Amino acid sequence: MAIENGTYIKLSYTGSVNGVPFDTTDAEVAKTAGIFREKAMYGPSIVKVGAGHLLPGVDQDLAGKEIGKEYTLVVPAEKAFGEHKKEELKAIDKKAFEKKPELFERVTIEGRDGVVVNKVGSRYIVDFNHPLAGQDVAYVYTIEGVVEDDAEKLAGMIKLLTGRDMKVDAGDKTFVSIEVPAMMSMYNQNWLMTQYMVSQEAFALFTEIENVKFVESFPRPNYKTEEETAPAEEQAAE
C-alpha cells in the first residue's frame, strides 16, 4: 500500500547532521547521542502526510512510500531549517539583557531565541537563525502504519502540538471531549491558540459534532491538618 497525501500515519525517524542525531523518536538513539530528555515522549509520531507537520523535505518524501520499509534521504538546507541569513544577525544593546551574556550563550529577546556570537562596543551580536540553518540534514524513517481511528488521529495531533498525551472521548455524536492536564495554560503559554487549532482539527475529523469540550480537572491537594501531623511528629521524636 503506497501512502497518499492526507493519510494519517505512525512515523519513526531519526534526523542527523554529519552522522550526529539531533532529533529522534527512538529513546535509545537519543540516549546514545546524548540528546535524551526525561520529559519527552518517545515512540512513533502520528502525522498527516502533506500537512506540514514535518520539515518540508521530509513531508514531501512520504507520499508514495510503503509501510514497514526503512527509507533514507538527505534534505537540503532550503527544505530543512532554511539558509543561514545575514539579516538574522542583530546588534542588541546590552541594556536589553537582564544579565551580562556570555559568548555562545542562548538568549531570548522579545520572544525570539538566538545565540550571542560577538560583542562590539556596548552591543552584542545575536544570531537568530535556527541552529541548523544552512546545513543539509539526513533522515532515516519508517512508516509504521496507517491510523484509521479518528479519535487516535486527534490524540496524535494534540501530542504533536503539545508534547503531551491527552485522552479523546468521541462517544457522543454531538461533541468531542478532551481531557486536559491540570494547569496546562501555565505550562504552555500558547495553549489558547493550541486549543483553537485542536478544535479545528476535531471539526474536520468529526463532521457531525457541534462542540469540542476541553475538560481540565484539579485533584484535591493531599493536605494534612495539624491534628493529623502531630501524632506522626511525636512518634518520630520518640
Q: Hunting for cell 541548523 — which residue is that?
A: 132
**How many CA atoms are closer than 13 Å to the CA of 38, on its beta-carbon side?**
0
| Successive 10-residue mean pLDDT values, the chain, 238 residues | 94 97 97 94 96 96 97 98 97 93 94 95 96 97 97 95 92 92 81 93 95 90 64 56
Q: Which neighbouring-strand residues pair with 45?
A: 11
For 138, residues 6+ apart whose C-beta sits below 8 A from its C-beta are: 15, 16, 17, 19, 72, 73, 74, 75
CB–CB of 131/114 below 8 Å? no
Of all residues in the chain, the percent with pLDDT exceeding 70 is: 93
Mean of the per-residue pLDDT values for the chain? 92
Q: 3-class DSSP state for residue 92? A: strand
pTM (global) more than 0.85? no
Max CA pair span of the chain? 73
Query: pLDDT value at position 225?
Result: 59
Q: How far apart are CA 13 and CA 115, in angstroms?
A: 27
Segment 29-57, tens digit of pLDDT: 999 999 999 988 999 999 999 999 999 99
CB–CB of 164/112 below 8 Å? no
